[in-house]
A and B are shown apart, each in its own frame.
Chain A
Amino acid sequence: MKPIREPLINYVSQKDRIGATLIFIFSAVYLGLSQDIALQSVVADSAFTPRTLPQLLAVLSLILCVMIILKPTPVGRLFTRHRHWGKLALFVGLMSGYGLLLRPAGFMLASILFLTSGAWLLGERRHGRLILIACTITATFWVLMNFGLGVYIPPWPTGFNT
């Protein structure tokens, strides 16, 4: 079993093949969705319609993907060790949470929370300093945008802004 499995793993874990396969899937879905683009009857017979470029691009992309999958460049295999995937996932969640909180919690609260949590996740444990820096960055940025550039964003939670 092992002699068969190892070459297979080597083949599949080649970086170029993984990337090209992901783009192949994206391109195939893209090509499928391009069929749904509505065409006005007056342009349906034209040489160039809203579908022309997307379909051309999807086909070119699929061809290139197949070329790469069949003959990848000689670069290393994918190694996932020594990477902090957990920390990355936490940061992605934090960024997404910031987007969700920004409106209901207001700019000040959401931003201070984001900056303090981010610095804490990266190992900062001096809490006083951490909060002070987060508050300073947030307030400076808000003042600069609001008074300096005239871009207003509600600072406080919904219902607390005058």
Chain B
Amino acid sequence: MIEGILIGLSTALSLQNVVLLVTGCVAGTFIGMLPGLGPMSAIALMIPIASTLDPTPGVIMMAAVYYGAIFGGSTSSILINAPGVASTVATSFDGYPMAQQGKAAKALTIAALASFAGGILAALCIVLAAPLLATFSLTFQSSDYFALMILGLVTVAAFSQSGGLRKALLMAIVGLMLSTIGTDPTQGVPRFTLGMIDLVDGISFLLLVMATFALAEALLAILENRRLEHRQADLTFGAMRISSHEAREISGTVGRSSLIGFLVGLLPGAGATIASFLAYGTEQRLAPGDKISEFGNGSIRGLAAPEAANNAAATGSFVPLLTLGIPGSGTTAILLGALIAYGIQPGPMLYINEPEVFWGVIVSMWLGNIVLLILNLPLIPYISRILTIPNQFLLPAIIFLSLTGVYFVSFNTFDIQLMVAFALTAVVFRILDFPMAPLILGFILGGMLEENLSRALLIWDNEWAFLWQRPTTLVILLVAGLMLIGPWLLRRKPIRADQ
């Protein structure tokens, strides 16, 4: 292993690779900040450049773009409540309230540090246990994935205030219902399309999240004549300072969330989104009594948890890719395609046949995270100045970026009208105190839940017995049950953290 790390260091630290690493991080960060362009789009956009490079530098650059885009997505989540990708939705729950309290620089610093720690810890886990963990991840079957989706849905309990669990569950179900619109994934028949061809492909995640978060926030600000800009916000380097008390407070959170993120990231199909929600829910439950009420209102634990988890999961998703050749997400699927185009076949033999690629990528994960931290920390006070733009320009610009971000993906003006309708509905439900986060969670998990349930039933010959006869499924479902009724049993009041 030491030999492998040395090979990786000598590969990643060559001048060309360091330059590509820095370029990838910068490009990824800026692309990730644009609503609508997440890590997948960022990597896809980099393929033409990467294809002109040798395999190792090409893969290192694409990995750097990946991390950069995840970090960039967090920035727009925190500053303007516009999570362009699913994995940064949970970041906005506490990051955006912090920005609204004039602590944008501190929020971005915590996000950068938690993200950095998550990435570094997960890369360490890869080095220590990649082949073993890859074999473990393969033992997961559809029924286990179904149970995992249920576990993910149970995190809605974290988004409910006292007595509001029913509302959170209801919104999660509405999200699941919205996810069924479009072509059925199992039989290919259209559902709830109302005869409209534009709905055959379903509703895009990006459209829904931009409408219910960014657009709804801007429309609410207009409705309530609220100012989003913070002219008095402290945007100096001093504002980024994290006290030793705060560092101690989030250190445990970051460690736990990184582990959750890494383990969930290992599972093909699960990914950074579930990891970030699970980490958030876990931290909300583990928080001491006086800290629970801070969740959803600018809790530093609530911000650090999803940030550490989503970056750790992004790193963890490289395990099945590099060791088994199985892409765990859309992003790693693009990377797999790029590797195959280079003539490299990922799999158990990769780190024997192509050690410089395998270890080069692993070491570049560490270097990439360090580069991201070095590059982004000094930029934070400048990035935070977005919030000093006067309201009359900031609000139309947020709406403009949200609308065009979605339009540039589909090139369908119907999506703009659908967005307006969803945004208006979201405004109404937010006025009525119905949380939006569970709706997004339900929507994200809906497709995967249905696919895995139908596949599990097919494997188990149309019998529901897999729910109690398969040990892994049963254990996960029991954990989900405990998570749901645990707070009630302990007579603890769950706190709302919807926006």
Chain A residues engaging chain B, CB cutoff 8 angstroms: 15-16, 18-20, 22-23, 26-27, 30, 33-34, 37-40, 43, 46-50, 53-54, 57-58, 60-61, 64-65, 67-68, 73-75, 78, 82-85, 87-88, 91-92, 95-96, 98-100, 102-103, 111, 114-115, 118-119, 122-124, 133, 137, 141, 145, 149-151, 153
The verdict on B490 contacting chain A, using a C-beta distance below 8 Å, is no
Partner among B170, B392, B417, B419 whose Cβ is within 8 Å of the Cβ of A119: B392
| Whole-angstrom CA separation of A111 from B392 in the bound complex | 16
| Whole-angstrom CA separation of A34 from B176 in the bound complex | 14
The verdict on B427 contacting chain A, using a C-beta distance below 8 Å, is yes
Given the known interface contacts A50-B187, A124-B392, the answer about A30 and B166 at a Cβ–Cβ threshold of 8 Å is no
Chain A residues near B174 (CB, 8 Å)? Answer: 23, 26, 61
**Residue with the greatest number of chain B CB neighbours at <10 A, chosen from A16, A85, A114:** A16
Chain B residues near A19 (CB, 8 Å)? Answer: 167, 429, 432-434
Given the known interface contacts A95-B399, A153-B408, the answer about A85 and B170 at a Cβ–Cβ threshold of 8 Å is no
Rounded to whole Å, the gap between the CB of A33 and the closest CB of chain B is 6
Partner among A48, A68, A75, A102 whose Cβ is within 8 Å of the Cβ of B457: A48
Q: Across the two chains, which residue of chain A brings its CB closest to B417? A: A99
The verdict on B485 contacting chain A, using a C-beta distance below 8 Å, is no
Q: Is there an interface contact between A118 and B429, defined as CB atoms closer than 8 Å?
A: no
Chain B residues near A23 (CB, 8 Å)? Answer: 170, 174
| Whole-angstrom CA separation of A150 from B42 in the bound complex | 12
Q: Is there an interface contact between A53 and B450, defined as CB atoms closer than 8 Å?
A: yes
Chain B residues near A38 (CB, 8 Å)? Answer: 189-190
Rounded to whole Å, the gap between the CB of A160 and the closest CB of chain B is 18
Q: List 15 A-B contacts (CB under 8 A).
A: A15-B433, A19-B434, A23-B174, A33-B192, A39-B189, A46-B462, A47-B457, A47-B462, A48-B186, A54-B191, A61-B174, A73-B161, A88-B223, A100-B413, A114-B396
The verdict on B397 contacting chain A, using a C-beta distance below 8 Å, is yes
Q: Is the interface of B mostly helix, strand, loop or mixed?
A: helix
Given the known interface contacts A19-B167, A54-B180, the answer about A91 and B397 at a Cβ–Cβ threshold of 8 Å is no
5 tightest Cβ-Cβ pairs between the two chains A and B: A118-B396, A99-B416, A122-B392, A50-B184, A47-B462
* Interface mask (B203-240 → A, CB under 8 Å = 1, otherwise 0): 00000000000010001001111000000000000000
Q: Is there an interface contact between B396 and A119, defined as CB atoms closer than 8 Å?
A: yes
Given the known interface contacts A64-B173, A111-B404, A122-B392, the answer about A57 and B180 at a Cβ–Cβ threshold of 8 Å is yes
Chain B residues engaging chain A, CB cutoff 8 angstroms: 31, 37, 45, 161-164, 166-167, 169-170, 173-174, 176-177, 180, 184, 186-187, 189-192, 194, 215, 219, 222-225, 390-393, 395-397, 399-401, 403-404, 407-408, 411, 413, 416-417, 419-420, 423-424, 427-429, 431-434, 449-450, 453-454, 457-458, 462-464
Rounded to whole Å, the gap between the CB of B232 and the closest CB of chain A is 20
Partner among B401, B417, B463 whose Cβ is within 8 Å of the Cβ of A96: B417
Given the known interface contacts A68-B170, A99-B417, the answer about A87 and B187 at a Cβ–Cβ threshold of 8 Å is no
Q: Across the two chains, which residue of chain A brings its CB closest to B187? A: A50
Partner among A34, A54, A85, A103 whose Cβ is within 8 Å of the Cβ of B413: A103
| Whole-angstrom CA separation of A162 from B462 in the bound complex | 58
Chain B residues near A133 (CB, 8 Å)? Answer: 393
Q: Across the two chains, which residue of chain B brings its CB closest to A91? A: B222
Chain A residues near B464 (CB, 8 Å)? Answer: 47
Partner among A33, A61, A137 whose Cβ is within 8 Å of the Cβ of B400: A137
Chain A residues near B186 (CB, 8 Å)? Answer: 48, 50
**A19-B432, A124-B390 given; 18 more Cβ-contact pairs under 8 Å:** A33-B192, A33-B194, A48-B186, A49-B187, A53-B449, A53-B450, A54-B192, A60-B173, A68-B167, A82-B224, A84-B224, A92-B424, A100-B413, A102-B413, A114-B400, A115-B396, A122-B396, A149-B31
Chain A residues near B194 (CB, 8 Å)? Answer: 33
Rounded to whole Å, the gap between the CB of A3 and the closest CB of chain B is 27
Q: Is there an interface contact between B413 and A149, defined as CB atoms closer than 8 Å?
A: no
| Whole-angstrom CA separation of A84 from B170 in the bound complex | 29
Q: Is there an interface contact between A99 and B396, defined as CB atoms closer than 8 Å?
A: no
Q: Is there an interface contact between A78 and B431, defined as CB atoms closer than 8 Å?
A: yes
| Whole-angstrom CA separation of A23 from B423 in the bound complex | 16
Q: Is there an interface contact between B166 and A64, defined as CB atoms closer than 8 Å?
A: yes
Chain B residues near A68 (CB, 8 Å)? Answer: 166-167, 170
Rounded to whole Å, the gap between the CB of A87 and the closest CB of chain B is 6
Q: Is there an interface contact between A95 and B403, defined as CB atoms closer than 8 Å?
A: yes
Chain B residues near A15 (CB, 8 Å)? Answer: 431-433
| Whole-angstrom CA separation of A47 from B223 in the bound complex | 48
Partner among A84, A103, A118 whose Cβ is within 8 Å of the Cβ of B395: A118
Q: Is there an interface contact between B403 and A99, defined as CB atoms closer than 8 Å?
A: yes
Chain A residues near B177 (CB, 8 Å)? Answer: 26-27, 30, 54, 57-58, 61
Q: Across the two chains, which residue of chain B brings its CB closest to A133? A: B393
Chain B residues near A43 (CB, 8 Å)? Answer: 187
| Whole-angstrom CA separation of A53 from B450 in the bound complex | 7
Partner among A50, A84, A96 whose Cβ is within 8 Å of the Cβ of B420: A96
Q: Is there an interface contact between B420 and A99, defined as CB atoms closer than 8 Å?
A: yes
Q: Across the two chains, which residue of chain B brings its CB closest to A104? A: B413
| Whole-angstrom CA separation of A58 from B170 in the bound complex | 10
Given the known interface contacts A33-B192, A46-B462, A98-B416, the answer about A73 and B164 at a Cβ–Cβ threshold of 8 Å is yes
**Residue with the greatest number of chain A CB neighbours at <10 A, chosen from B164, B187, B396, B401:** B396
Q: Is there an interface contact between A95 and B222, defined as CB atoms closer than 8 Å?
A: no
Q: Across the two chains, which residue of chain B brings its CB closest to A141? A: B404
Rounded to whole Å, the gap between the CB of B175 and the closest CB of chain A is 10
Chain A residues near B450 (CB, 8 Å)? Answer: 53
Given the known interface contacts A54-B180, A92-B424, A122-B391, the answer about A87 and B417 at a Cβ–Cβ threshold of 8 Å is no
Q: Is there an interface contact between B432 and A149, defined as CB atoms closer than 8 Å?
A: no
